[in-house]
Structure 1
Amino acid sequence: MYLPLSVFKILRSLGMRERESPGEFWFLNREAVVKAINARFPPTAFQCFETQIRWRTPIGQDAEKAVRQYINTQQAVNSSAINAAWAQSHQPIHQLTFILDFTNFSFVSGGQRYTLNDLQELYPNPKVQPHANLSGIDLSGIRINHCVIRNVSLANANLDGSSLGGLHLENTFLTGASLRNARLGQLRFTNSSFAEVDISGAFLNAVQLDDHCIPGEFTFSEVKLGSRLDHTTAYVDLPSLNLV
């Protein structure tokens, strides 16, 4: 569940003004917010929403924009290298030699440079080490193809409408992420988690799922399955499925 409108209604009921930053208001009034959220939602929801709302602060917005630009730039570089190799030898290079991680990533906000670790230390959210903490980020509609995603936490992130293809996820966690109406193709997982994700309306093709990356459950409805999906590991061997 990614920051439903009812969360913002609660913030407005607590006094948030029309043009006020929802993230800043949340953390400045955290004691009142936690009481109001817990009165409306299950106990685990507050931590989830707090992970997401930090991206609605001014510095979080700058970080989110920079993350999108970084991913898009890396994808452009990878595509150019693939095309150049093909033009030279007419042989496809191994696309998974490209690594997408955030080891050297930084961004500027208010004239000062920050890392993702700096950002996570600013707010009372769960800390993620040594992974890049993108937990709760809104990357809806993002396109990521033909690479290894390594050492990244995308727990509770918004990836609705995204296109993820030809990826190997290593030590990368999408626990609780929303991938509604996403296109997911040729995904492999190593020491990674796809647990409790929402793939309602998504298209899946050649996605390798098993009890290691989904130890619990995930939510889906009206999922379209490509012809190369491994039905055995994806649907028979999973411990539980939550149909909605």
Structure 2
Amino acid sequence: MKKVIHRADTRGYANHGWLKSHHTFSFANYYDPNRIHFGALRVLNDDAVKGGMGFGAHPHDNMEIVSIVLDGELAHSDNTGNKEVIRKNDVQIMSAGTGVVHSEFNASKTDAVNFLQIWVIPKERNVTPRYDQKTFDPAARENALQVVISPDKQGDGLWLNQDSWFTLGKYEAGKSLDITAKAPNIGTYLFLLSGELKVDGEVLETRDAIGLSEYEKVSIEVTKPAEFLLIDVPMLN
């Protein structure tokens, strides 16, 4: 088994006043040659946006983009006619494909919004742009794993143009679980949203992460109440 650990305080950080963003992987002005991607997982930004502020219209292409709101509300608009508000327990996906222009603004004028913006390298390039969004019942991830994204319409959740799964979990202290690799060439990136876990003997605290590859099964011990995100992706060269 191979593993890489990314501690919360080693992430890139940008403070623009209206935006505070932590970058797990190289992004914008943050560059680390050892942290370009984990397999097909290219970007994991932990963004906090002040009330009334946001990202104006900007383009994307040939990237699978996932937004998960942790607190607050995020207003989305794009040039294909989608206008939506993303709230806690919502997951949004956008297959940029041949090209899309979108904006993201805090839907509140006063309260901050905190969300994860995640980019996955697509399986096929130049697909027709596609948008989708779904609300997931948080009770379904209490001491359980809730799959919210899977490849090409395999599950009941959303789907991506990649052999990738996104799974949420919320566990009480004292619980344990095993995670199993989806396939030999699929790695797992665990991002700890809150709490404390022990993964293969490694202690992770809030916003720490661990990437696992070339493994079959790994045990997780929940040492403090914890919420986490698992991202399974192909391990690219």
TM-score band, normalised by shorter chain: under 0.3
Structure with higher strand content: 2
Between Structure 1 and Structure 2, whose CA radius of gyration is higher? 1
Using the size of structure 2 for normalisation, the TM-score is: 0.27
Structure with higher helix content: 1
